[in-house]
Amino acid sequence: MLCVMAERERGHLGMTHNPFAQPSAGFFERGDCKAHLDLLGNVDQWGCKVLLVTGPRGAGKSVLYRESRGRLAVEFVVARVVGTLVNTRREVLSAVAQGLGGSAQDNANSSALASLIARGVGRGDEADPSCVVLVDDADALEPDAIEALFKLTGETSLRLVLFGEADLAPTVERVSARLDVECREIPLAGLNGEDARDYLEWRFAEAKYRGRLPFTDQQVSEVVRLGEGFPGKMNQLANALLAKLETGELRAQPARFPPQHRVLAVLVALVAGLAYLIWHQAPPQSGAVEVVRQPEADAVEPDDREDAEPARIVVEPVRVADHRSDPTSAKPLPGDAELSAEVSERQLQPVLEEPQLQVQVVESLPEGGQHSAAWHDEAWLLQQSPGTYTIQLVSVSSAERAHAYVLAQPDPGQMAVYRLQRDGRELHVILYGIYVTQEEARIEADRLPESVGSVRPWVRSMAQVQRAMGGA
């Protein structure tokens, strides 16, 4: 009976639900994720008191944050903090105290909270590590909150794990060096091609989907390439692709002839057709009749227009001249005055080559940051008041992509771009607008123009942006 009811609940494509609409409650144990999770669960192998797990949005930081609690030994007391919910020094210390079982007064200040935590945890030289603090979205914490956590970790047996984006690393490194608390960074990498495909199959299996993936190999490759192998990004792309399949906008295409083979077949057909025309247009063998043929190349005119059709071969009908005596005395027929006596190599070229496609290329900006005044740069950002707010839209890996994205907006003057160096890679962060209050920025983030695409806007203070630029 239960099986029959489950079958009735299946929707389009035989799935019980869209597996990519919501984050998975499970854990995909492939790639580097399992190794990182095993390390987080074994405190003795950390080699330091603080771990920093970094990666872009969608890399799987929140999944590791969620799963880490279950991998730690049962004797550990774990306090979990989410930076997007509490981010000031007092709020963070209060959340840690409550998570570790402490009882603090509502009006307790930061110093009282820190003392309460230290008494409950024990000094570093008096107790073995038994308390762990896990902080998700740590890049949303204020700098003094991060410093307070590091200070507690250095003075007690507390262990700390921060999960955040790569631009958090410079701040953590400075605090770690100033307080002499060793920290280790764990950068998350995307899944490779095979593991990424297995991840998509695993998500479909969660929705009771049976059989092969409804995506073609080309569609899977695009999801993996655009998502950079990060689970969260691939979820968004697969969700959009699946929605098109369900609404009928896109259908799974059968395997087609490989593109290289199609090009080769076209070339063979072209050569065969040319040979056929030349063979059947040979002049008669009779010496009594002079045959005047219009050169084949004269019928081909290169067209540089964007909508020009591929070059075609046109052969004029064979004409018989009226003069039979001396071939050299033959006069041009009426209407043939524009025909050339010689066929140049330039005229024959369009017959053998395909028409050139015109591609609009966005040129990269010259080094030194010089560009038109279409958008704002790093120097402009450093001049803004640290108390203002902005909206971070997206980070891309090349300047060309960043500039193309900005120029595609209806008002590039609202945009700003700055560079960030992380692990030998250069990231280009794109910002939108400057706002006096955080609430004003949040309201604007909810009504961004459609031209920005499917992004997750992040309201940041200008002080955070300037610190990230200074750490780069």
The domain spanning residue 410 has which CATH number?
3.30.70.1070
Q: What distances in angstroms separate CA 111 from CA 115, 149, 156, one per listed residue?
A: 6, 12, 15
Helix (H) or strand (E) holding 463: helix 462-471
Amino acid residing at 164 = G
Q: What distances in angstroms separate CA 410 from CA 373, 414, 418, 427, 448, one per listed residue?
A: 15, 9, 20, 23, 11
Amino acid residing at 121 = V
Domain boundary among 161, 187, 213: 187
A 10 A CB-CB count for 425 gives 10
Residue 343: per-residue pLDDT:
38
The residues, any chain, with a CB within 8 Å of residue 132's CB and separated by 6 or more, are 43, 72, 76, 77, 78, 79, 158, 159, 160, 161
Helix locations, 16-60, DSSP H: 33-41
Whether residue 198 lies inside any domain: the answer is: no
Q: What distances in angstroms separate CA 267 from CA 263, 271, 294, one per listed residue?
A: 6, 6, 25
Whether residue 464 lies inside any domain: the answer is: yes
Whether residue 408 lies inside any domain: the answer is: yes
**3-class secondary-structure state, position 164:** strand
For β-strands 131-136 and 77-82, DSSP reports them as: parallel
Helix (H) or strand (E) holding 468: helix 462-471
For the chain, the domain total comes to: 2
Burial, 71: exposed, middle or buried (Cβ in 10 Å; 0-12, 13-18, 19+)?
Answer: middle
Residue 368: per-residue pLDDT:
40
Helix (H) or strand (E) holding 320: strand 319-320
Q: Which of 249, 236, 250 is nearest to 19 (CA)?
A: 236
Distance (Å, whole) CA 224 – CA 409: 26
Whether residue 2 lies inside any domain: the answer is: no
Residue 391: per-residue pLDDT:
94
Whether residue 27 lies inside any domain: the answer is: no
Q: At what angle do helices 193-206 and 217-227 cross, to 10 degrees?
A: 110
Predicted confidence pLDDT, tens digits, the chain (472 residues): 333 333 344 455 556 666 776 666 677 776 777 888 888 888 888 889 999 999 888 888 888 888 888 888 878 889 999 998 998 999 999 999 888 887 777 778 888 888 888 888 876 554 556 889 999 999 999 999 999 999 999 988 899 999 999 889 999 999 999 999 999 999 988 888 777 787 787 777 776 666 667 777 788 888 888 888 788 788 788 788 777 776 655 554 444 456 666 778 888 888 888 888 887 765 555 444 343 444 443 333 334 444 444 444 344 444 444 444 444 444 444 444 443 444 344 443 443 343 333 333 333 444 444 454 578 988 889 999 999 999 999 888 888 888 988 998 888 888 999 988 877 788 889 999 999 999 889 898 888 888 888 888 989 999 989 888 875 5
Domain boundary among 128, 156, 187: 187
Whether residue 176 lies inside any domain: the answer is: yes
Residue 333: per-residue pLDDT:
44
Distance (Å, whole) CA 50 – CA 429: 27
Find the CATH number of the domain harbouring 179: 3.40.50.300
Q: What distances in angstroms separate CA 273 from CA 5, 262, 276, 390, one per listed residue?
A: 62, 16, 5, 63
Residue 248: per-residue pLDDT:
58
Q: Which structural domain, as residue segments, surrounds residue 60? A: 33-187
User: Which pTM was predicted?
Assistant: 0.48
Q: At what angle do helices 193-206 and 231-247 cross, to 10 degrees?
A: 60
Residue 157: per-residue pLDDT:
87
Residue 297: per-residue pLDDT:
37
Whether residue 349 lies inside any domain: the answer is: no
Contact 164, 65 (CB under 8 A): no
Whether residue 312 lies inside any domain: the answer is: no
Residue 127: per-residue pLDDT:
54
Residue 74: per-residue pLDDT:
79
Q: Which of 421, 409, 414 is nearest to 471 (CA)?
A: 421
Helix locations, 180-302, DSSP H: 193-206, 217-227, 231-247, 259-280
Please state whether 342 falls in left (phi above 0), alpha (psi between -120 and 50) or beta.
Answer: beta
Contact 58, 231 (CB under 8 A): yes
Residue 241: per-residue pLDDT:
79
Distance (Å, whole) CA 169 – CA 189: 16
**3-class secondary-structure state, position 22:** coil
Residue 151: per-residue pLDDT:
93
Domain boundary among 144, 171, 187: 187
Distance (Å, whole) CA 160 – CA 116: 17
Distance (Å, whole) CA 389 – CA 225: 33
